[in-house]
Structure 1
Amino acid sequence: MIQYSLKCSNDHRFDSWFQSASAFDKLQSAGMVSCAVCGVSEVEKDLMAPRVSAGKTEAPSAPAKPDTPLSGPASPAEQALRELREAVEKNSDYVGRDFAREARAMHSGDAPKRSIWGEARGEEARKLLEDGVPVAPLPFRPTRKNN
């Protein structure tokens, strides 16, 4: 097992364990490593301090635990982001990549109005705004189910 200090594209830092260095590389290239705080899959290795044993006579010790738990936010901003994500997920329907189509259908009256969230390419989102469809970007991505 190997422990890496990781950092996401939103500058959240966290630690995670992997079976090996090659296992990390394989999971990262498949987009299966995500931020423990915001769920973003753009994650890279952060600077890490090497673990140096004090001498050969010491018995191997258990791996050190991270200073902060993976499930806890590191700042009030991260807590607010987590609460926003929970509220969105609880009070609206995730429609995935059908977001633009669903939003347009509700705006035109072809579908019943409800709270939705999902994914749209930049050009799709721009076209929705140009057409007067009320949409706004969220500061997080959907959480990937890895199993």
Structure 2
Amino acid sequence: MIVFDLCCAAGDHRFEAWFASSESFADQRARGLIDCPICGDSDVKKAVMAPRVGAKSNQLQVAPRVDIASVPEELSPELMRKVIAGIAAKQAEMLPRSRWVGRDFADAARAMHDGRAVEDLIHGEASPEEAQALHDDGIAAMPLLVPIVPPDAVN
């Protein structure tokens, strides 16, 4: 598994995502399966990132100190509320265009990935093991950030 820092062209929003390999990232990007979680832009590219070099096993790791005065204003509680509201609004916008597949989510995602199904968006349920297997196979899937009530549970 490899993690990439990504950014979108529309808003230059930075985010990270995990992929099975560089080839998996390239394939998913070419098929338009990667979207910016902030604005939904699918014109996504790798961002410049510093490599993570592990410390020697015999060295004590010390967490970096953060000077509260140096924390940017952008991380204010008000901004975080706006970001979460934006995520909820984007999810609410996309759900009506998405098809509920229930417990068949993993199978439906695999069918889409393999080209056996032509759907744009699906949502459903998957066990942690099913989600990990999709991830291990390079199949783009992520949890909904705002919980929803399944259609068959609404009375």
**TM-score, length of structure 1 as denominator length:** 0.43
Write 1 or 2 for the structure with the bigger share of helix: 2
Greater Rg over alpha carbons, structure: 1
**TM-score, length of structure 2 as denominator length:** 0.41
